[in-house]
Amino acid sequence: MEKFKQVAIVGGTHGNEFTGAYLIKKFENFPELVKRPSFETRVILANPQAFQANRRYLHKDLNRCFSLEDLNNSLGSSHEQDRARFINKVLGPKGNPQVDFIMDLHSTTANMGLSIVLLDDNPFNIKLASYLTSIQTTVKIYSWIEPEKESCFLNSICDKGFGIEVGPIPQGILQASLFQKTEELIHTILDYLDKYNQGEISQVNHSVSIYQHLKVVDYPKNENGEIEGMIHPQLQGRDYEELKPGDPMFITFDGKTIYYEEESSVYPVFINEAAYYEKGIAMCFTKKKQVSG
């Protein structure tokens, strides 16, 4: 059994997502909180300058800068591309990392609750995520894996680990209850890794629900690319809930309802995420499936 020797906790990948950034600050001040007997825990504030500016990023979304092409290209660099290469040097290199597990802490304005975001279907990730749902039933597992596409998220440096999304919470603020729930989840993960190293994890399989990414959906727009409508009130806040054919999705500024018209039900996530307006994403469609974890 290969043991975990180095574990990384990253926060502030987006500078205005304060939950993760201030948890990193807390762990820097009180390192004993994340210390475990069987491995070293490293904490990193990913984008300090964006954090100080209370902005998601300065020039480019840092969590989209971890493709091999970006990491290996030193020409025309932005602040975030430089920062990505630094993080890749400290934790990576991508594909052959120095660390064995990465937690990347995020928050969202969408009603995602406590979400595990898988970027790699490594069996260990599935087992750990399954364990987390078994002890905290409100935890959801979102698999943002696109098989034909290289992931450019920070977590793609290492095949073990995942992102943690918590919400809903506005950008640039702290909310004590979500802060505490996120910290509790981090400690549960660290304890699991420590017990795994010591051979104390039982190999019990059980079925777990995973929401598998299908595609992103944009807002209704006119020929000039301007938004012409909003998330329908009946859909707002219903992340991870079934959207059936004929259900309302959007309402236009002139009061017209746009309905979901595909043949099969889907489960939208990241509904009306503030940071995704610039990306042309109103929500992500997923399908719900059962996996042995």
Structure confidence at residue 2 (pLDDT): 86
Confidence class of residue 24 from pLDDT cuts 50, 70 and 90?
Answer: very high
- For residues 78 and 217, state if they share a domain: no
Structure confidence at residue 77 (pLDDT): 82
Kindly tell me the sign of the dihedral angle through the C-alpha atoms of 169, 240, 257, 281. positive
- Total count of domains within the chain: 2
Answer with the one of 143, 177, 204 that is the final residue of a domain. 204
- For residues 106 and 227, state if they share a domain: no
Q: Which of 80, 132, 101 is closest to 10 using CA atoms?
A: 101
- For residues 16 and 150, state if they share a domain: yes
- Strands 207-217, 139-143: parallel, antiparallel or unpaired by DSSP? parallel
CATH of residue 162's domain is 3.40.630.10
- For residues 213 and 198, state if they share a domain: no
Domain containing 98: what range? 6-204
All residues at 6 or more sequence positions from 202 whose CB lies less than 8 Å from its CB, including other chains? none
Q: pLDDT tens-digit profile of 181-203?
A: 999 999 999 999 999 999 998 87
- For residues 56 and 134, state if they share a domain: yes
- For residues 158 and 260, state if they share a domain: no
Structure confidence at residue 1 (pLDDT): 65
Q: Residue 177 carries which side chain, given as an amino acid letter?
A: S
Answer with the one of 204, 221, 250 that is the final residue of a domain. 204
Q: pLDDT tens-digit profile of 7-23?
A: 999 999 999 999 999 99
In a domain, 288, yes or no: yes
In a domain, 1, yes or no: no
Q: Does the pLDDT value for residue 76 go beyond 80?
A: no
- For residues 180 and 237, state if they share a domain: no
Q: Which of 200, 167, 169 is closest to 38 using CA atoms?
A: 200
- For residues 189 and 286, state if they share a domain: no
SS3 43: strand
Q: pLDDT tens-digit profile of 99-149?
A: 999 999 999 999 999 999 999 999 999 999 999 999 998 999 999 998 889
CATH of residue 282's domain is 2.20.25.160
In a domain, 235, yes or no: yes
Q: pLDDT tens-digit profile of 204-234?
A: 677 899 999 999 999 999 999 999 999 999 9
In a domain, 258, yes or no: yes
- For residues 116 and 11, state if they share a domain: yes
Answer with the one of 154, 179, 204 that is the final residue of a domain. 204
- For residues 231 and 161, state if they share a domain: no
Q: pLDDT tens-digit profile of 240-292?
A: 999 999 999 999 999 999 999 999 999 999 999 999 999 999 999 999 999 98
Structure confidence at residue 202 (pLDDT): 80
Does the predicted TM-score (pTM) go above 0.85? yes
- For residues 141 and 214, state if they share a domain: no
